Structure 1
Amino acid sequence: MEGPSADMDPELARQLFFEGATLVILGVPERSEFGIDANSWQVGPRFRGVKMVPPGVHFIHYCVTRNGGAPGETGPRTGIFLHLEQKDIRLLHWNPQDEEMVPAPQEEADKLREQLMSLDPFLGPYPYESMRRWVSLSSHIKKEVITKLQPKCGSIYAFPEVLPTEQMTHTEDRTRHNLPRYDSVCQSYKEGMARLPLMKQREGTEIRFSQLPAKMYPENATPAEVTQHSMDLSYALGCLLETYYPGQPLELLGELQFSFVCFLLGNVYEGFEQWKMLLNLLCRAETFAFQHPALYIEVISVLYHQLAEVPTDFFIDIVSQDNFLTSTLQVLFSFLCSPSMDKALRKKAMRFRAHLTKKFQWDFEEEPLDCAPLVVELPEAGEGDSNALVHNATS
């Protein structure tokens, strides 16, 4: 990590050193990759941490260099969300056995305060030139969101440890579950997969994402109401908010950003899946959008900065050449840009649609495939009598 920018005022640098937070990190193997927020570096022999860190939420991430590995070859990425106060000091030790950073007790970290000047040559400065980018990706991630979502173990793993739900080491164990013997010959790929034991993530390592309600429609809903709630997901969105963020709908945007950062910087595919789920819910909740225009103004701002981080072809399914984001946003714009929508929200949505059309060359004018009518042939009711029922594809 390089020193402060050459054009930074020395007095300002001194003030940032004492007013900003400090991360002291001891024992990280050389040539490992270490990053904070949207920045990453290769660890050198003098590295002991980061100084001048602005107060607020930050995401540190690292990949350790494996012994005997090829140059530049690192293990899977691990990340930690931190909320730092002004003049805060955090101490992390490298655990070589588990190959991860372990936070030290705060009392031990506080003892380092008097040694800050001596540690200064070994601390890399926080890169303030990239701070704006990080803030745009994390503006809604508050301390409460981190506490709610971060795994109980404190670390977010790109490839978390998984364990079998049952050992099933003996033939009789597999017979009890109607699984084939280990010593029998596989007849197909499907059979081979069936021989693998059921796995679950090690307890305490799961990101505690919110979950969709079991039913997307109210109890005792009529078939027409079920269809309506399948097209307009406002009921499902309201249930999710009531369960996880009662009275605090903006905190859902914190989870939207949390999941995106987990994927973008932490290499966690589960984060991408959660981001897609939340985005789909928000983009298909028409009634909710009319009732909460201020929330959707923030949704557009969050998406604007997130989509600036990915290449233009990122969301295209390489198998079907379908872009899930185009069809999802198409639904969103269909009601955000309607004349009856809140004026400020409508204007922002139209500008965002124009921006995406220009940058990604996405066509939002065609009718979404999942909104096209689907004709379902019914069984014959009598001699030569047939009927057709038109359904919406989302029902």
Structure 2
Amino acid sequence: MEMNQETALQLFEDGAFFILLDVPVGTEFGIDYNSWQVGEKFKGVKMIPEGVHFVSYNSVNKKHKEAAPKLGFFHFFHSKEVLVRRWDKQLETISEDVIEGEELANFESSLKELDRFLGPYPYDNYKKWKSLTNHITESLMNRLEPASGRISSATELVRDGEEKVSYTVGELPTSMKEAEGRLPKMVAVAGTEIRFVTLPTRAYPEGATPADITKYSMDKSFMLEELLSTHYAGNHMDLLGELQFAFVCFMVGQVFDAFEHWKKLVHLLCLCDEALGRHEGLYSAFISTMHFQLREIPEDFFVDIVSSHNFLTTTLQVFFYNLANCETASRQLKKRGCQFKDHLTKTFRWDFDAEQDDDAPVVVHLGET
């Protein structure tokens, strides 16, 4: 999406500003799917389109030329907003302190002087970013982001304060298993975890008949309904927003736990049967969401992470089968599913119609490891 003069003028007038002061030269800085090495004159980004954006950065050790774990945060930029942050030299990160009040007003009045130090938002990639985040609302973003306000590619760990020592100090372990058991138990630092929803663990309703237990052990529609009513009663599309949030955290923020959550949500949505007819809008949007996400995954990713466990092919195979055989799903949704299936077959050469043999990977049920 190239920026024409009219769009450029509109973004100049209505776009947001992110002013970032005192960033060391050589630091890797990014916004959304774009990243650069900071130069001497860099003081931020201008002409940012209104909406959800992801700011990321790596501090770089000049001596060893090694980058620290990637850090980042989401922010919903409003039209004409001016966000000002400073680099914390001691912690080698963007300070959590937000510039406000009179100091912020001074920056807002001096934007013309700062203009030459601000890089324009790379609008060429905005259409792609929008397609990957169109379901992430400001309220959902605030709900999911860690309490610390910062997302790290490396989990910050501390020793579990409630851990109990069950051996005598100085006593040698008698086995490797016992030695490993003596290692301190580590837990994530409170407030640093992304606040993803906890998926339901019960697959069928209370008092279910044996037939229903068998049915809902295969069809995850009951679990989906529980998730929607518990966490997304106001807006079912927020579930897709969380799916997108997890995808961005993994693909851009390099957070592996986010990939695991993304997998669980994809599993849940794909393993439903009854729900296909009840939630046409949700599933139509799910197909679009998956279409845009799979376009952005590097080809070697499937070999290294996904195809090694045949995760997507087995999961989507179940989804396409359920959709084709669902009596309550509309012809329009079925057609959309067929088009998506054909696209994936042509693009990745995946065969969704082949029968799995005894040695083929099976779809892992939610909650299993």
Length-normalised TM-score, structure 2:
0.90
Partner of 1:351: 339
Could you say if the C-alpha distance between residues 245 and 110 of structure 1 is closer, same or farther in structure 2, counting changes exceeding 3 Å?
A: farther
2:120 to 111, 120, 125: 125
Is 1:191 aligned to residue 184 of structure 2? no
Paired residues of 1:152 and 1:204 also in contact (CA < 8 A): yes
Is 1:303 aligned to residue 298 of structure 2? no
Is 1:273 aligned to residue 260 of structure 2? yes
Paired residues of 2:17 and 2:48 also in contact (CA < 8 A): yes
Structure 1, 214-223 or 255-264: larger mean CA deviation? 214-223
> What letter corresponds to residue 44 of structure 1 in structure 2?
G
> What letter corresponds to residue 98 of structure 2 in structure 1?
A
> What letter corresponds to residue 310 of structure 1 in structure 2?
I
**Cα distance between partner residues in 2 of 1:38 and 1:93:** 22
**Cα distance between partner residues in 2 of 1:15 and 1:80:** 26
2:81 to 71, 84, 88: 88
Identity %: 43
Structure 1 segment 134-149 matched on structure 2, within 5 A: 134-149=129-144
Is 1:16 aligned to residue 11 of structure 2? yes
Paired residues of 1:316 and 1:322 also in contact (CA < 8 A): no
> What letter corresponds to residue 152 of structure 1 in structure 2?
A
Residues 316-356 of structure 1: CA deviation (Å, up to 9, x unaligned): 46799431110000011012223733111111100100000
Paired residues of 2:85 and 2:99 also in contact (CA < 8 A): no
1:312 to 299, 307, 313: 299
Paired residues of 1:141 and 1:257 also in contact (CA < 8 A): yes
**Cα distance between partner residues in 2 of 1:33 and 1:8:** 28
Question: More relative contact order in 1 or in 2 (CA 8 Å, sep 6+)?
Answer: 2
**Cα distance between partner residues in 1 of 2:223 and 2:84:** 42
Partner of 2:71: 78
Partner of 1:231: 218
Shift of 1:28: 1.5
Partner of 2:352: 364
Partner of 1:159: 154
Residues 135-194 of structure 1: CA deviation (Å, up to 9, x unaligned): 0110101101101100111111111321111287xxxx62xxx24746625732x33321
Q: Secondary structure at the match of 2:345?
A: helix
Corresponding pairs, count: 360
Paired residues of 1:180 and 1:195 also in contact (CA < 8 A): no
Structure 1 segment 315-326 matched on structure 2, within 5 A: 315-316=302-303, 321-326=308-313
Is 1:54 aligned to residue 49 of structure 2? yes
Paired residues of 1:331 and 1:368 also in contact (CA < 8 A): no
Length-normalised TM-score, structure 1:
0.84
Residues 238-289 of structure 1: CA deviation (Å, up to 9, x unaligned): 1111111113111100000000000000000011001000000000111111
Gap runs ≥5 in structure 2: none
